[in-house]
């Protein structure tokens, strides 16, 4: 396999290539760096590229292999989102308003390094992770490798763009309202938001009151499992701790799920939200495929307390934006739209803030009633095909937030209640842009989602498709 092909081969294949001596970690890393230098000026996926440090890490990986060491991710280049702490750097969160360097790596980065991964760079996000696109007035837009006119989503847009373009084998994203699933959906990747508390966010005990989780964005289901197996687990001080998985994630990705009862819902989380025909089609096609694979698939549109839950989430969202704004060292450097969302949060009455934060247990129990009769819930990932770069630029903050909530309506509930939820590639638009479905599992049950997602991947492979024209476009 040529080095360029290997850049698109994903974690499992790259780890095998280094382990077997097919390629050195240094050569693999150098090819990724060449691709970044050539391609990323058009994509804008990376905020920082750690070329010198990564080359040193790759050389160290080669020395370790020569000495007989065998680590799961030895020599594999992995990128991390800019809201994940790296020693010696401020945790920038898409802003220029953070300046104090972190004293140590996050638990995620520490575990990646311990597994032999090479940290290749830090990927872009919108300011404070507030949008389902990755754009800012000072850094410009991050673009989708499948169409430079379209967004790779957000807030982990840089992470997804990097993986889809073959600039990293995998990337770590975070998800507080869909921010792993959105970019995975629009770039043709697999992104599973794990159970709350599955992957430690240390040094933070929790982020955004428990809405935010972290996890990999990868080319394949097995790639996700390989990375997640190395980074999951609690750390001292964590506010949330997930139940232990019933098997390793790698084993789950290689295990047939058996016959499951799968509910299909096309009911948006809120009244009057349209769903594009192409989105409906891929959900129905996936339901038919799951039936063909032997599952019992039923239509199920459970009531989700739409008005109460959506209002509650909106209040938590803008309040957390306000808190995040006040945590910035130089808040005056934040963009006007970021400050405007923070101002909405500042103006919320204290009673509304307390109400929005207090009812998680009741809503969690209500939402999880659906799993009394099914094993997995299938929904759209997004309500329409990928948005264009700058599509909502002319809107004021309130109308832009409303558009974003309609676009992502099927996603935020599972951040509130904590369940694992995956974005699974599911075909293309008529223009060739990626589409996806969402699979939601019972609490603490990523394993079933991995088994079903891998079964779908075997029946309908997606990872062999790569964006055309990136290496040759001007």
User: Active-site positions?
Assistant: 81, 155, 179
12 three-class SS: helix
How many Cβ atoms sit within 10 Å of the Cβ of residue 71? 19
Contacts of 156 (CB under 8 A, 6+ apart): 81, 123, 125, 171, 173, 174, 175, 179, 180, 182, 183, 191, 217
Q: What stretches of 222-375 adopt beta strand conformation (E)? A: 261-264, 296-299
Give the pairing of strands 213-218 and 77-81. Answer: unpaired
| Structure tokens that stand for 171 in this block | 């990337």
154: phi then psi, degrees, rounded to nearest 5:
-165, 170
Q: Where are the alpha helices (DSSP H) in 165-220?
A: 181-187
Cβ 146 vs Cβ 56: under 8 Å = no
Burial bucket for residue 247 (CB in 10 Å: 0-12, 13-18, 19+):
middle
How far, in Å, CA of 35 to CA of 97, rounded?
A: 30
Residue 79 DSSP code = E
How far, in Å, CA of 108 to CA of 368, rounded?
A: 29
């Amino acid at each position: 396999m040529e080095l360029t092909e290997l850049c698109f081969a994903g974690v499992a294949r790259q780890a095998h290539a280094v382990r077997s001596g097919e390629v050195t970690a240094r050569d693999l890393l150098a090819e990724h760096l060449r691709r970044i230098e050539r391609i990323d000026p058009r994509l804008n996926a990376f905020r920082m590229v750690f070329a010198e440090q990564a080359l040193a890490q790759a050389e160290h990986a080669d020395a370790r292999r020569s000495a007989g060491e065998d680590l799961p991710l030895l020599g594999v280049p992995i990128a991390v989102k800019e809201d994940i702490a790296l020693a010696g750097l401020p945790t920038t969160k898409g802003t220029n308003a953070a300046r104090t360097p972190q004293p140590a790596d996050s638990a995620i980065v520490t575990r990646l390094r311990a597994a032999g991964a090479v940290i290749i760079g830090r990927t872009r996000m919108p300011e404070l992770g507030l949008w389902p696109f990755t754009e800012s007035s000072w850094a410009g837009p991050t673009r989708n490798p499948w169409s430079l006119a379209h967004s790779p989503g957000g807030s982990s847009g840089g992470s997804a763009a990097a993986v889809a373009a073959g600039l990293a084998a995998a990337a770590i994203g975070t998800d507080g309202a869909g921010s792993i699933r959105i970019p995975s959906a629009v770039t043709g990747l697999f992104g599973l938001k794990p159970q709350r508390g599955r992957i430690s966010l240390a040094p933070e005990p929790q982020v955004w009151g428990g809405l935010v989780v972290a996890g990999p964005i990868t080319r394949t289901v097995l790639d996700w499992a390989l990375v997640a197996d190395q980074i999951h687990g609690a750390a001292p001080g964590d506010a949330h701790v997930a139940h232990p998985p019933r098997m390793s994630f790698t084993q789950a990705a290689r295990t047939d799920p058996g016959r499951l009862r799968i509910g299909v819902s096309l009911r948006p989380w809120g009244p009057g939200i349209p769903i594009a025909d192409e989105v409906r089609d891929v959900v129905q096609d996936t339901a038919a495929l799951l039936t063909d694979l032997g599952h019992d698939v039923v239509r199920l549109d459970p009531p989700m307390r739409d008005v109460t839950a959506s209002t509650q989430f909106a209040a938590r969202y803008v309040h957390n934006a306000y808190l995040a704004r006040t945590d910035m060292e130089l808040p005056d450097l934040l963009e006007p739209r970021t400050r405007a969302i923070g101002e909405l949060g500042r103006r919320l009455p204290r009673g509304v803030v307390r109400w929005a934060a207090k009812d998680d247990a009741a809503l969690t129990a209500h939402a999880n009633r659906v799993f009394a009769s099914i094993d997995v819930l299938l929904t759209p990932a997004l309500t329409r095909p990928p948005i264009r770069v700058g599509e909502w630029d002319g809107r004021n903050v309130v109308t832009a937030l409303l558009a974003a909530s309609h676009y992502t309506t099927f996603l935020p509930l599972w951040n509130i209640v904590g369940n694992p939820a995956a974005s699974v590639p599911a075909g293309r638009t008529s223009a060739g842009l990626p589409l996806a479905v969402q699979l939601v599992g019972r609490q603490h049950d990523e394993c079933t989602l991995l088994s079903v997602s891998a079964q779908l991947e075997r029946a309908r492979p997606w990872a062999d498709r790569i964006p055309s024209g990136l290496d040759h476009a001007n």
